[in-house]
Structure 1
Amino acid sequence: MSRQTYELEASVRDRVGKGAARSLRRQGQVPAVIYGDKKPPIAIAVNFREADKRLRGGGFMTTVATINVAGEKILVIPKDYHLDPVKDQLTHLDFLRVGAGSTVTVFVPVKVVGTEKSPGIKRGGALNYVRHEIEFECRADSIPENVECDVSALDINDSLHISAIKLPEGVTPVIQERDFTILTIAPPAGFNEPTEAATPAA
């Protein structure tokens, strides 16, 4: 199930460049760009606190939003963002225009369930993520919030592959040529699988 959409107010930027961007940030704004859908890009500015709240709230890159620019409401999905490497503050946003029913390519986070029942984890095994996110193609209005991976039946050295995941209708992995691994149950240090005792000679 996709996350609930939200709306951001934005203003058109008259100036671009590093100096103009720094000036916007001092005013509590974040420079951003809307592009795609075979239309010219629009340089905009959005409120820093509102954008940062959406970013930190989770699911930011998989949630379709509406940006209100000078009275025009544009349906978008975030495609990239930049953070200050020192202050960890949002400094720039890229949004992709999407039309109703259009197809997008997005990375969806992996959500693990069933760890309390996993025989491998009960025996001391460790959950090893091969992929924290999976890239999918799907409708813009049907982006899943996460990919649920059930490990309740996995033992030590077992793996979970994409073929074992039940995906919503219309959601397709970008990688089609192989049944890729999502996670494994790694053995603990010094683990030796017990072997059957040899049958005594007659």
Structure 2
Amino acid sequence: MEVIANKRDVQGKGASRRLRRQGKTPGVVYGAGKEAVNIELDHNALFHALKREAFHASILTLAIDGAKEAVLLRDYIMHPFRMEVQHIDFQRVDKAQKIHVKVPLHFVNADIAPGVKLASGVVTHIMTDLDVSCLADNLPEFIEVDLADLQAGHSIHLSQLKLPEGVEIASHKGDDAAVVTIVIPRGAVAEDAAEAESAPAAPAAVPPAA
């Protein structure tokens, strides 16, 4: 994904307000041992790009006055009540150094999971993204979590995730935390118990005649 920007020479709160009135968003790009550069971007293009999941967890190509470099989105500030991006930060990527990035989790096959299909359980996502460490070329857009065999009352843990080659978990080290689980709603448990209590008792066995 390519992001178009221009260098921003004028700084300060007043200059930033003027930029926003002109439909621009101020920002900065830093890192990789280079000097930070103040930039400005088209607000509407940026606003729509931020709606895309891949924009938050992919290596982006930032073109500043035509010169291109690989970057990651690191932070952005939204206006408290207006649909306005007020500032954005990008970090340059050194492809020889590992990066830490939050990657979204995509949960698949929930509809055929035994805990859902057979036990009427509800899938509960304990995590929705994962902090990973990898080289830039190995960065996945997402990590898939397969629920096809998940039973009610059971969970999938970090150690059970299938990570792409060259990708490792950067956080939760030593803590095999749960990622997703299937629970049976209390109402369903109560209904099952009530049905069991209201079911007619089996007739007593008649002793054989002497």
* Equivalent residue runs for 1:151-170 within 5 Å: 151-170=147-166
Cα shift at 1:82: 1.2
Identity within the alignment, %: 34
Contact 1:118-1:151 at 8 Å conserved across structures: yes
Contact 1:101-1:141 at 8 Å conserved across structures: no
SS at match of 1:82: strand
Separation in 1 of the partners of 2:11 and 2:56?
A: 24
Q: Which amino acid aligns with 2:48?
A: K
Cα shift at 1:44: 0.3
Q: Aligned to 1:110, which of 105, 111, 124?
A: 105
Separation in 2 of the partners of 1:160 and 1:119?
A: 14
Q: Which has the higher helix share?
A: 2
TM-score by length of 2: 0.84
Runs of 4+ in 1 over 3 A off after TM superposition: none
Structure 2 unaligned residues grouped into runs of 5+: 194-210
Q: Which has the bigger relative contact order, CA under 8 A and spacing at least 6?
A: 1
SS at match of 1:124: coil
Larger radius of gyration, structure 1 or 2?
2
Q: Which amino acid aligns with 2:139?
A: I
Cα shift at 1:21: 1.2
- Residue 63 of structure 1: aligned partner: 58
- Residue 22 of structure 1: aligned partner: 17
- Residue 128 of structure 1: aligned partner: 124
Structure 1 unaligned residues grouped into runs of 5+: 1-5, 195-202
Separation in 2 of the partners of 1:125 and 1:100?
A: 44
Cα shift at 1:35: 0.7
Separation in 2 of the partners of 1:59 and 1:129?
A: 20
TM-score by length of 1: 0.87
CA RMSD of aligned residues (A): 1.7
Cα shift at 1:165: 1.2
SS at match of 1:163: helix
Separation in 2 of the partners of 1:30 and 1:119?
A: 48
Contact 1:61-1:106 at 8 Å conserved across structures: no
Q: 1:145-198 CA distances to partner (integer Å, 9 max, x unpaired)?
A: 11111111111110001111111111100132121211111121142799xxxx
Contact 1:31-1:93 at 8 Å conserved across structures: yes
Contact 2:138-2:165 at 8 Å conserved across structures: no
- Residue 177 of structure 2: aligned partner: 180
Separation in 2 of the partners of 1:55 and 1:101?
A: 27
Q: Which amino acid aligns with 2:156?
A: L
- Residue 42 of structure 1: aligned partner: 37
Q: Aligned to 1:171, which of 167, 170, 180?
A: 167
Matched, 1:76 2:68: no
Cα shift at 1:85: 2.0
- Residue 91 of structure 2: aligned partner: 96
Cα shift at 1:71: 3.4
